[in-house]
Amino acid sequence: MTTTRKKTTAKKTEPNAGATKIADGAREYVQRTAASARERTDSAYEGVSKFNSGLEKTMNRLVTGYVGILGEVADATRSNLVHAISTAEKVAQAKTLAEAAQIQIDFARDNATANYDRARNAVSATRDVVAEGVDAIREGVSGAWSHGQKAA
């Protein structure tokens, strides 16, 4: 009696082709999403860097303008004091009450005119510095915003 053995062929189980397509699609999706996120990150960084640079320039301009205004205030204060001291000296040398009164009237008129002009110039300079600063900040923000939106 001969026994015959049946050859059993082991079937290799192949993965489901549909599952492979899904895994490939998921891998591709993750790779595209990562690349897009990297582009957005780079774009946002570029925008923030440009904004910071513009903000630095704007703040330097504002501080320079502020220092200039303080310098003008110091100059005006000194001029007022020198004018007041010279008027006091003139009043002290006056021979009559009418002459002293006229010196005082001239001082008040000259001082008011000079201070009005100084104040007008200071307000104009302040307005210009603030307007330039606001414009520069607005441009910087809009520039940074547009950089963040490019990769979107």
Tens-digit pLDDT profile for residues 85-101 = 999 999 999 999 999 99
Domain-embedded: residue 7: no
Q: Looking at this protein, which amino acid is placed at residue 99?
A: E
Domain-embedded: residue 80: yes
How large is the average pLDDT for residues 25-50? 89
Domain-embedded: residue 13: no
Q: Which structural domain range is residue 59 located in?
A: 21-150
Measured N-to-C along each axis, helices 97-150 and 17-93 cross at an angle, to the nearest 10 degrees, of: 170
Q: Who contacts 2 (Cβ-Cβ below 8 Å, separation ≥6)?
A: none
Q: What is the pLDDT of residues 119-150, one digit of tens each?
A: 998 888 888 888 887 887 787 677 666 654 55
Q: Which residue has the higher pLDDT, 84 or 69?
A: 84
pTM of the model: 0.57
Number of domains comprising the chain: 1
